[in-house]
Amino acid sequence: MHQSILVFRNFRYLKWALSVAAVSILLYVVHEPEYGLPNGGTLLGYVLGTFGALLILWLMWFGIRKRRYGAGGAPVEDWLSAHIYLGLTLIVVATLHTGFQFGWNVHTLAYGLMMIVILSGVFGLFAYLRVPELMTNNRRGMTLVQMMREISDLDTACREAALSLGDEINRIVLKASQNTRIGGNIRRQLSGDDPECATSEASRAVRHLADHAPPSQAEGFRALMGLLARKEELLSRARRDVRYKALLDIWLFFHVPLSFALLGALIAHIVSVFFYW
């Protein structure tokens, strides 16, 4: 029924991409530079370079197309599928354009930036293919907001359960409900975990105190521990959800700004080439 973006339209854009790559390689093999080694300055070099630059502009246009919601023409899915495959082809086109000549200059900077952008895109693709299903399984039909609401309900229930268990327990439970965090900085979000989780700490402390509690409080402790365990479980799911969302989003923070950096470097590369000319 449903197929991934890679299989989309029976690999139509993969076929396009392979054709482009094949033609480029073929030309590179048969092309004999008038003098010297293959490089960006030969006839083929210019052809591949122009094509590559136009391809970069077209690939970046995706960001605009995606936001043109009322636009006709091909659906966004077509655009994304083509964006992925033709973006990968750029590796072949641009590398052949360099004639494998690299150095510490603005030309290789543009090449390097391009490769980073492509790699970040590959990571994004990987995340897009892998994460959605993990996310659905982890959510078990709940939304993040529902999880938060349930966590907050459990907080209230914990505080009520703690009322009959003495001041120390009350202090621990209150602290847990005030200091528990979901998400945070990027590292915390990506880890999907909180090693200093206030609720886990409270849970450990309550378990410890339960061992020394009078039998009359056993029932109360059991109830509280159950609630805390349920909350811990929900917290870890919520944090995992945050992690998945972060994985789906984070690569764009590299992919998009670096694309613009690449655009700058590309302009510099082209302008400087014409100065040498």
Q: Which residues are at the interface with another protein (CB under 8 A)?
A: 1-5, 8, 64, 66-70, 72-73, 75-77, 79-80, 127-128, 131-133, 135-136, 139, 141, 143, 145, 245, 248
Please state the closest distance from residue 232 (CB atom) to another protein, in A: 24
Give the nearer residue to another protein in terms of CB position, either 4 or 19: 4
Nearer to another protein, 8 or 221 (CB): 8
Minimum CB distance to another protein smaller for 134 or for 157 = 134
Smaller CB separation from another protein, 141 or 214: 141
Burial class (CB in 10 A: 0-12, 13-18, 19+), 111: buried
Residues 108 and 93: their CA atoms lie apart, in Å, by: 14
Q: Pseudo-torsion of CA 187, 192, 193, 198, nearest 10°?
A: 90
Closest CA to 129 of 162, 178, 80, 163: 80
Question: Please, what is the minimum distance in Å from the beta carbon of residue 151 to another protein?
Answer: 17
Q: How far is the CB of 180 from another protein (least distance, A)?
A: 23
Report the distance separating Cα 159 and Cα 86, nearest Å.
Answer: 57
Residue reference for tokens 């070099």? 45
95, 245, 275 from 33: Cα distances, Å: 16, 50, 21
Least distance CB 174 / another protein (angstroms): 32
DSSP readout, 146-192?
Answer: HHHHHHHHHHHHHHHHHGGG-HHHHHHHHHHHHH--S--SHHHHHHT
* Closer residue to another protein in complex, CB, 47/58: 58
Least distance in Å: CB of 181 to another protein? 22
Indicate the burial class of 104 (C-beta count within 10 angstroms; 0-12, 13-18, 19 or more). exposed
Q: Which of 12, 16, 9, 248 is nearest to 126 (CA)?
A: 248
Nearest to another protein of 44, 86 (CB atom): 86
How far apart (Å, rounded) are the C-alpha atoms in residues 181 and 149?
14
| Cβ 260 to another protein shortest distance, Å | 12
User: Which residue, 9 or 159, is less far from another protein as judged by CB?
Assistant: 9
Closest CA to 246 of 180, 194, 192: 192
- Residue 148 Cβ vs another protein, minimum distance, rounded to whole Å: 13
